[in-house]
Amino acid sequence: MHDERRSVLHSWSVQADWNAPTVVGGKGAYLHLEDGRQVLDFSSLAECSNLGHQHPQLVAAIRAQAGRLCFVTNAWGAAPRAELAARLLELAGFDGGRVFFTTGGAQANEHAVKIVRQALRRPRGWLVARDRSYHGATHLAMALSGDARTTAHVDAAALGVAHVPPPYAYRCPWRSASAAECGERAAAAVGERIDALGADHVAAVMIEPDAGSNGIVAPDNYWTALRRETAARGIVLIADEVMSAFGRCGEWFAWQRHGDAGRPDAMTLAKGLTGASVPLGAVVLSAALAARLEHEVLQTGLTYCGHPLACAAGVAALAAYESEGLITRSKALGAEMRAALEAMQARHPVIGDVRGGHGLFVVVELVADRGTRAPLAAWPATPPALAALTRAALDEGVSFATRGNLLLLAPPLVIRENEIAGALALLDRLLARFFPSEARPAA
C-alpha cells in the first residue's frame, strides 16, 4: 500500500503533521479502517454522508449506470440528469425552474452567483454574505465565506462581496436580550447593508438558512425576516443548502421549515445530494430567474456538468431518503439528540450552549466559564483538551468533528438509536475526564 503522507496535499492540514487512518470500507454509520478497526462516524465525514457508508441502493445504482453509460457531456441529453432535475424542482416546489449541475458545493455557489448576475444583467453586482459562514474553497466561494480560514487569503471586496454580522444568538453582535431579537437585528443588518450599497448595485444575498460548519444556528425568526428584507428591496436570496439539505436540518431543504415565507429565489446543493457517493452539486433556480435566461446563451459550462454517474447516484439517493423515511427520522432523532445534550449540559459546566437539532445536526459550544460565557480558546483555535477528547473518542471507536470550541454532532441519518446513545454516553464520560467540573465550577 502506498503511503499518501508523502504524496498527497491534504485539505486544511499541516502536511508534515497529517497522520489520519486509512479507510478501506464502511457499512451504515461505520467506517472500516485499514488496521481492522470499525469507527462510528458521528459527523457523516464532512456532514455529507447522510445515507451512511456504502448504502446498497446507491452502490447498485452507480453500478447499473456505469454498465449503461458512464459519461456524456452537457451538450447531449442524459436520462438520469433529466430525472434528477425534475425531482429536485418537484421536491422544492420550484415549478418552471431550472437546475444547473456542478461537481460540488463551492462550484454550485460560484455558478449561482454567475447565473444570477447574468440573469439580472449586473455582472459586477454586489454580493452580501455573512461572517461565520462557509461557502467553499474556490476563490469566489472563499470571498463569500465569512470564515477565519479563508478571509486572510482573499480580497472579498475586490470580488464584490460585502459581509454582515451573523445571527449568533449566544454571542449576539448587537448584545440582544433574546434569540428572536438577535435574529431580527441580523436580518435588518442585511437590509441596511443593501441600502448602503444601493439596491440597484446588489446582485444577491447568499446565506446558509440553518446550521453551518462555523457553528452558527440561525434563530427561528431569522430566515423569514431575511426573506422579508430582501424581497422588500427586490434582491435575490440564494440559500446555500450544501450542508443543511437532505434531512440534515429535518427537511428536504432547510428553508422549508418556514414554508412559503422562507422560499428563496435560488438554492445551492451538494453533499447529501448523492449521499456523497459521487461528487455532485447543483444550482436550483426559481421560474422567474430561469425565465430571464431562456433566450440567451448561458455564459458558463463544465465538462462534467450533470455527469450521468453522479446524477444516477442522486436519483438513487432521493429514492433512499424517501423510501426509508429518513427526512422525518432525522427530525425526530435530532430533537432527541438535542434533549440528551441539554441533559448533559446540566452535568458539565463546560457546556455553554447547545443549539440546532432541527435534524441530526447539533452544535455544542464549550466555554471556560458558563456565567461570563468566556470561550475556552479564542476562535478559531481548538482547545487542547478538546483535541485530546476527540483523540480518546477515536481510540474508543467514535469519530467526533470539532471546530474551535465547538463539537459538531451530525451522524448519518441511517444511524441506529442505540448507536447514538452509545456515542453520547462516551461523550458524557470523556467530558467528565477531560473537563472535570471541580476545575470549572458552574455559574
Ligand X SMILES: Cc1ncc(COP(=O)(O)O)c(C=O)c1O
Contact positions vs ligand X (CB under 6 A): 46, 104-106, 109, 134-136, 208, 212-213, 240, 242-243, 270
| Complex with ligand X: residue 241 or 365, whichever CB lies closer | 241
Least distance between ligand X and beta carbon 219 (Å):
18
Least distance between ligand X and beta carbon 135 (Å):
5
Q: Distance between CA 318 and CA 321 in Å, rounded?
A: 5
Give how far the C-alpha of residue 54 lies from the chain's centroid of Cα atoms, to the nearest Å.
21
| Complex with ligand X: residue 151 or 345, whichever CB lies closer | 151
Least distance between ligand X and beta carbon 171 (Å):
20
Which of 156, 136, 131 lies closest to 146 in space, CA to CA?
131
Least distance between ligand X and beta carbon 105 (Å):
2
| Complex with ligand X: residue 179 or 242, whichever CB lies closer | 242
| Complex with ligand X: residue 266 or 344, whichever CB lies closer | 266
The closest residue (CB) to ligand X is: 105
Burial 104-121 (b: 16+ CB within 10 A, else e): bbbbbbbbbbbbbbbbbe
Q: Which three cell numbers stand for residue 192?
A: 441596511
Least distance between ligand X and beta carbon 303 (Å):
17
Q: 3-class SS at 407? A: strand
Q: Distance between CA 50 and CA 55 in Å, rounded?
A: 10
| Complex with ligand X: residue 13 or 372, whichever CB lies closer | 13
Eight-class DSSP state of 210: S
Amino acid identity, residue 193?
A: R
Instruction: Determine contact, residues 111/301, Cβ cutoff 8 Å.
Output: no
Instruction: Determine contact, residues 62/277, Cβ cutoff 8 Å.
Output: yes
Neighbours of 416 (CB within 10 A): 13
Least distance between ligand X and beta carbon 356 (Å):
14
| Complex with ligand X: residue 104 or 375, whichever CB lies closer | 104
| Cα–Cα separations (whole angstroms), residue 76 to 49, 63, 144, 235, 295 | 30, 22, 32, 34, 19
Least distance between ligand X and beta carbon 199 (Å):
25
| Complex with ligand X: residue 270 or 344, whichever CB lies closer | 270
Least distance between ligand X and beta carbon 339 (Å):
25
Question: Angle 222-232/179-197 helices, nearest 10 degrees?
Answer: 20
Instruction: Determine contact, residues 270/105, Cβ cutoff 8 Å.
Output: yes
Which of 102, 15, 12, 14 lies closest to 4 in space, CA to CA?
15
Least distance between ligand X and beta carbon 271 (Å):
6
Which secondary-structure segment (H or E) carries 22? none
| Complex with ligand X: residue 111 or 370, whichever CB lies closer | 111
Least distance between ligand X and beta carbon 278 (Å):
12
Q: Distance between CA 360 and CA 167 in Å, rounded?
A: 21
Least distance between ligand X and beta carbon 212 (Å):
5
| Complex with ligand X: residue 61 or 280, whichever CB lies closer | 280
Q: Distance between CA 98 and CA 378 in Å, rounded?
A: 43
| Complex with ligand X: residue 361 or 434, whichever CB lies closer | 361
| Complex with ligand X: residue 207 or 424, whichever CB lies closer | 207
Q: Distance between CA 420 and CA 387 in Å, rounded?
A: 21
| Cα–Cα separations (whole angstroms), residue 273 to 87, 267, 279, 334, 401 | 11, 13, 9, 20, 21
Neighbours of 12 (CB within 10 A): 6
Task: Please work out, in degrees rounded to the nearest 5, the angle formed at the alpha carbon of residue 194 by the alpha carbons of 190 and 199.
Answer: 145
